[in-house]
Amino acid sequence: MFNQILEELNSSIVAHGGLKVEVESRFKEYYSTKKDTVIRSFLWDVPGFRRWRVTRMDAGDKLQVLNSVAYPNYSNDYPILGIDLLWFGKKGKLVAVLDFQPLIQNDYYFKRYFEGLKALKENYPEFYSNKPMNLYDSKKYFSPWVLFYIGDGNNFNYSLTEVVLDFLDKYWSLQLINDQNNRKLSSLEVNKLQVDYDHYNAEIDPAHGLFKSYFGKQWADDFIQYFLFPQCHN
């Protein structure tokens, strides 16, 4: 389901100078005990970024996942890229969340970095999910323009690939904002907020139960703490 998006994401990263980084073998590819589910992860070294990770899980028509998070260098205070796509084939349920995850909730910061996302959201009215977030605090590391779809995936009116490509284009455009003197946060503050992002997400991640059921508790704990949100130890 998400192979095409994964390929497009990879090409986009490569086009922006991304180089593949080796992933620890215990996280690179892991099969469920029943061998019918696999989770693969990728790491990229991308100019301007401290860490860019991508995870693809394939549990057949039970579940398909594509998840990606990109952390800019501490010298950039722009938002973290967040993509979370889940397709529960049997149920026909699609969850698609894409956001420029803001480090702070501040008007100046929003004006500086969110014009592109704001404009993009106008084109995708189905992403105006009126469902409030249950698990996450929508005011913490989510923007007011988060693209959030949760519902019937069979009657979804867009090509999700197009949405992701559009979204990536807008995110890359942030690199054009490089008047460093006007940025809001110091490197030290960015560092602290990115560490806090990992702490918060390692605590709250709704994928924990899912990973546990497919791959066992130990692997699930380790994957969350050492691959998805490694700064939760800092």
Rule CB under 6 A: which residues touch ligand BLA? 55, 57, 65, 67, 69, 82-84, 86, 95, 97-99, 133-136, 148, 205-207, 210, 228
43 versus 65: smaller Cβ distance to ligand BLA = 65
2 versus 182: smaller Cβ distance to ligand BLA = 2
Considering the complex, what minimum distance in angstroms separates the CB of residue 145 from ligand BLA? 12
Residue in the block written with tokens 């105006």 = 128
162 versus 178: smaller Cβ distance to ligand BLA = 162
Q: How far apart are CA 231 and CA 48, in angstroms?
A: 19
Considering the complex, what minimum distance in angstroms separates the CB of residue 163 from ligand BLA? 13
Q: How far apart are CA 17 and CA 11, in angstroms?
A: 10
Q: How far apart are CA 124 and CA 37, in angstroms?
A: 32
Considering the complex, what minimum distance in angstroms separates the CB of residue 130 from ligand BLA? 12
Q: What SS3 state is found at 228?
A: helix
134 versus 179: smaller Cβ distance to ligand BLA = 134
Q: How far apart are CA 31 and CA 40, in angstroms?
A: 9
**Residue 62 phi, psi dihedral angles, 5° rounding:** -75, -50
Q: Which residues of 144-153 are buried (b: 16+ CB within 10 A; e: fewer)?
A: ebbbbbbeeb
Element containing residue 58 per DSSP (H, E)? strand 49-59
Considering the complex, what minimum distance in angstroms separates the CB of residue 217 from ligand BLA? 16
Considering the complex, what minimum distance in angstroms separates the CB of residue 3 from ligand BLA? 16
137 versus 178: smaller Cβ distance to ligand BLA = 137
60 versus 178: smaller Cβ distance to ligand BLA = 60
Residue of closest CB approach to ligand BLA = 82
CA distances to 100, 147, 149, 152, 198 from 122, rounded to whole Å, are: 15, 10, 14, 21, 30
38-45 vs 147-152, strand pairing mode:
unpaired
Considering the complex, what minimum distance in angstroms separates the CB of residue 84 from ligand BLA? 3
Answer whether 226's CB lies under 8 Å from 40's CB: no
Q: How far apart are CA 43 and CA 231, in angstroms?
A: 15
